[in-house]
């Protein structure tokens, strides 16, 4: 969420940013919120004047009563009552305007970084760099569900009966591989200085609206019926929420955390064959990383975070590339985002396995996450990135480590987490 003062003083910058994100329908909101803010400030000034007058009159009434001037005191009391009624009306108007202003401010997108390429959607994202040589073997790579089936490693039919489409049972070596990747990713991040955390898997609506836009919330979140609780779509939500309404000493920054959680997503819309199986599902597990830092450090941390994911995948012999997200592909709270994509020998193309985001002070402003230094208090910057999400990552792993005889090689880095196995058959 932007600073209202910034919007008031820089309306053209805010409007151009909206145009850069191809959200022209939101342009009228800028003038509307500025007008509402002006009206609200006038009402607030009137209310403040009435409060000051009420305090003054109250003191005068006491003085008049002590002097025996009862009639004058009674007249002044009538004036106080009348002003109190007017003040109550102004306060009601003030609250209504505040709510309307806040709703609009939650809708106006964050200012994107100048380095973000301008484009309408993900088709205009820009490749930055490739890591590792993408290889297409001289034998056919089966669909990932077929690979898993050969190991008796997946049961979609039973899951469909139990929970519906978008769920799965993982079995045997495939289930073990899933857990091994999570455990390896956990230790990988701990070795890079991050503190391991297992967060709540449900969060209140106050946190939901603090960490994401309304559009994201509608498309992703499952609400618990009858309670003010939502299932998390990623542990970033509860990890950033951990700092809600806090004042963090500047000396304790940066806060660097890596978290494990299941994730729950609606995943609205129909999808093609390549997004079935375990690619786009309603429930999965993930290792995440988040950073809370000083504003001047967020660009440095952004580069560190996506590099962690690249290094993790390369340590498992999986070729990847980085992709700069264009303006139209950025969620409203994001300043800058970079996707990590893994190579798919079967599809002969890359596909997304992680996303790194710098949100500036947007989440901190919504959740009141402030930093205190000797001189001032200010809003922190927050960042997040996927370490690994095994269901989707398993696709990349199995395709890139599949052998012609149908076995799957286990990279040295992962062997300790697979009971020392170098191959599964």
Identify the pLDDT of residue 273: 44
Contact yes or no for 319/400 (Cβ under 8 A): yes
For residues 137 and 139, what is the distance between their CA atoms, to the nearest angstrom?
5
Identify the pLDDT of residue 90: 82
- Is the same domain home to 28 and 138? no
Number of separate domains in the chain? 2
- Is the same domain home to 126 and 272? yes
- Is the same domain home to 157 and 301? yes
- Is the same domain home to 99 and 153? no
Q: Does 46 score more than 70 pLDDT?
A: yes
Q: Does 309 score more than 70 pLDDT?
A: yes
- Is the same domain home to 97 and 178? no
Tell which wins on pLDDT, 129 or 50.
129
Domain boundary among 107, 135, 154: 107
Percentage of the residues of the chain whose pLDDT score is greater than 70: 93
Domain boundary among 62, 82, 107: 107
- Is the same domain home to 406 and 265? yes
Q: What is the mean pLDDT of residues 321-328?
A: 98
For residues 394 and 387, what is the distance between their CA atoms, to the nearest angstrom?
13
- Is the same domain home to 83 and 156? no
The model's pLDDT over 55-72, given as tens digits with 9 standing for 90+, comes to 776 666 666 666 667 677
Contact yes or no for 403/425 (Cβ under 8 A): no
Domain boundary among 53, 75, 107: 107
Beta partners for 283?
Answer: 264
Q: Is residue 114 part of a domain?
A: no
Q: Is residue 86 part of a domain?
A: yes
Tokens 């996927």 -> residue: 386
Supply the range of the domain harboring residue 72: 4-107
Instruction: Name the range with the highest mean pLDDT among 66-70, 214-218, 222-226.
Output: 222-226
The model's pLDDT over 30-41, given as tens digits with 9 standing for 90+, comes to 999 999 999 999
Q: Is residue 113 part of a domain?
A: no
Q: What is the mean pLDDT of residues 272-276?
A: 53
Tell which wins on pLDDT, 407 or 51.
407
Identify the pLDDT of residue 78: 73
CA dihedral 397, 401, 405, 406 (to 10 degrees): -10
Percentage of the residues of the chain whose pLDDT score is greater than 90: 80
How much is the pTM? 0.88
Q: Is residue 116 part of a domain?
A: no
| CATH code for the domain of 90 | 1.10.287.40
Residue whose C-alpha is closest to residue 301's, from 329, 331, 335: 335
The model's pLDDT over 142-200, given as tens digits with 9 standing for 90+, comes to 999 999 999 999 999 999 999 998 899 999 999 999 999 999 999 999 999 999 999 99
For residues 147 and 404, what is the distance between their CA atoms, to the nearest angstrom?
12
Q: Is residue 115 part of a domain?
A: no
243 prior amide bond cis, ω within 30 = no
The model's pLDDT over 290-301, given as tens digits with 9 standing for 90+, comes to 999 999 999 999
- Is the same domain home to 62 and 205? no
Residue whose C-alpha is closest to residue 58's, from 38, 39, 77: 77
* Residue 225 DSSP label: T
Identify the pLDDT of residue 219: 81
Q: Is residue 177 part of a domain?
A: yes
Q: What is the mean pLDDT of residues 256-278?
A: 77
- Is the same domain home to 206 and 321? yes
For residues 107 and 381, what is the distance between their CA atoms, to the nearest angstrom?
19
Q: Does 270 score more than 50 pLDDT?
A: no
């Amino acid at each position: 969420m932007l600073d209202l003062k910034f919007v008031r003083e820089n309306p053209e910058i805010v409007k151009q940013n909206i145009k850069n994100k191809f959200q022209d329908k939101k342009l009228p909101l800028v003038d509307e919120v500025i007008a509402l803010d002006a009206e609200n400030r006038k009402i607030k000034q009137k209310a403040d004047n009435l409060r000051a007058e009420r305090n003054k009159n109250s003191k005068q009434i006491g003085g008049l009563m002590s002097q025996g001037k009862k009639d004058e005191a009674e007249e002044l009391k009538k004036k106080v009552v009348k002003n109190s009624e007017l003040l109550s009306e102004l306060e009601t108007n003030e609250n209504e305007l505040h709510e309307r202003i806040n709703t609009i401010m939650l809708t106006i997108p964050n200012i994107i970084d100048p380095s973000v390429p301008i484009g309408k959607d993900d088709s205009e994202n820009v490749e930055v760099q490739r890591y590792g040589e993408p290889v297409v073997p001289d034998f056919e790579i089966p669909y990932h569900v077929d690979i898993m089936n050969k190991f008796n490693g997946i049961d979609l039919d039973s899951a469909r009966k139990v929970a519906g489409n978008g769920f799965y049972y993982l079995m045997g070596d495939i289930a073990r591989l899933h857990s091994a990747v999570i455990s390896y990713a956990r230790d990988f991040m701990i070795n890079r200085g991050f503190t391991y955390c297992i967060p709540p898997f449900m969060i209140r609506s106050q946190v939901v609206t603090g960490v994401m836009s309304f559009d994201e919330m509608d498309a992703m979140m499952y609400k618990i019926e009858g309670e003010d609780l939502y299932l998390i779509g990623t542990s970033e939500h509860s990890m950033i929420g951990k700092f809600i309404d806090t004042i963090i000493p500047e000396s304790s920054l940066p806060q660097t955390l890596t978290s494990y959680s299941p994730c729950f997503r609606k995943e609205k819309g129909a999808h093609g064959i390549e997004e079935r199986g375990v690619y786009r599902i309603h429930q999965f597990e993930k290792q995440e990383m988040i950073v809370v830092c000083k504003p001047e450090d967020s660009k440095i941390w952004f580069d560190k975070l996506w590099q962690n994911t690249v290094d993790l995948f390369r340590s498992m012999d999986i070729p990847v590339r980085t992709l700069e997200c264009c303006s139209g592909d950025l969620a409203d709270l994001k300043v800058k985002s970079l996707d990590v994509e893994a190579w798919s020998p079967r599809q002969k193309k890359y596909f997304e396995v992680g996303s790194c985001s710098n949100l500036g002070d947007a989440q901190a402003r919504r959740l009141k996450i402030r930093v205190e230094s000797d001189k001032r208090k200010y809003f922190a910057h927050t960042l997040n990135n996927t370490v690994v999400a095994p269901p989707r990552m398993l696709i990349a792993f199995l395709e890139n480590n599949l052998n012609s005889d149908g076995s799957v090689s286990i990279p040295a880095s992962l062997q300790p987490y697979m009971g020392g196995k170098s191959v599964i058959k």
